[in-house]
Chains A and B, each alone.
Chain A
């Protein structure tokens, strides 16, 4: 069974750097075809895709946020880390990680439960 769980600070101050961790089980991110994405959702608003890292360490970023984002993986720990610099109140959102096995399903499945991050001084 594949599970994902996001963790990180619930509250960050403006201008600080956010570091989020996605810890997963049930698959290996070194297996060909596995891709893990981060997606966020401000309260009451739509989903926004942020970044993706693949089994071969290929990385992709949202065009509008790429200067602020960095994604990395630690295969031995079954973790993917997302950092976002220069946080702003507009970055207040629930942050999700989600899996895609590109060889099977071009869809994000499953998703973690999400972690709410509030940006406030």
Chain B
């Protein structure tokens, strides 16, 4: 699988919306059918927030949404809250997994 590129950091104020991008280097967009997103607070294990590009597991706030266009997937968090401050990782699954480099979200 190809690598996934994320911005190193994004920031936003409480109540605002932010979007984190995740771009694959492969020209084969079918490689990005199963994109998932993970939230990781310092010292904690990652938590699944989005799977299959735009589906939320049970218990995840509907403020989190996912989308994809071509070989770029995106995670949008609306109504930012202080507790959203964390690292976010995208991942693409075929039979194996590849992760992006992670994005640090700062809530100002």
Contacts and interface: CB of A to CB of B under 8 A. Distances in A.
Interface of A: 37, 39, 46-49, 52, 60-63, 96, 98, 105-114
A112 B44 CA distance: 10
B45 A111 contact: yes
Given A60-B95, A106-B93, A46 B48 contact: no
B46 A111 contact: yes
30 contacts: A39-B99, A46-B101, A46-B102, A47-B46, A47-B89, A47-B91, A47-B99, A48-B99, A49-B91, A49-B97, A60-B96, A61-B96, A96-B45, A105-B51, A105-B57, A106-B34, A106-B36, A106-B51, A106-B52, A106-B93, A107-B48, A107-B51, A107-B57, A107-B91, A107-B93, A108-B91, A108-B97, A109-B47, A110-B45, A110-B48
Interface residues of B, number: 23
A105 B59 CA distance: 14
Interface in B59-108: 89, 91, 93, 95-102
A46 B89 CA distance: 8
A53 to B, nearest CB: 12
Q: Is the interface of B mostly helix, strand, loop or mixed?
A: strand
B36 A107 contact: yes
Given A111-B45, A111-B47, A47 B38 contact: yes
Contact of A46 (B36, B45, B52, B99): B99
Interface of B: 34, 36, 38, 45-48, 50-52, 55, 57, 89, 91, 93, 95-102
B46 A96 contact: yes
Contact of A113 (B45, B55, B57, B100): B45
B36 to A, nearest CB: 4
Given A106-B34, A107-B57, A52 B51 contact: no
Contacts of A47: 38, 46, 89, 91, 99, 102
A109 B52 CA distance: 13
A105 B101 CA distance: 22
Contacts of B36: 106-108
A6 to B, nearest CB: 10
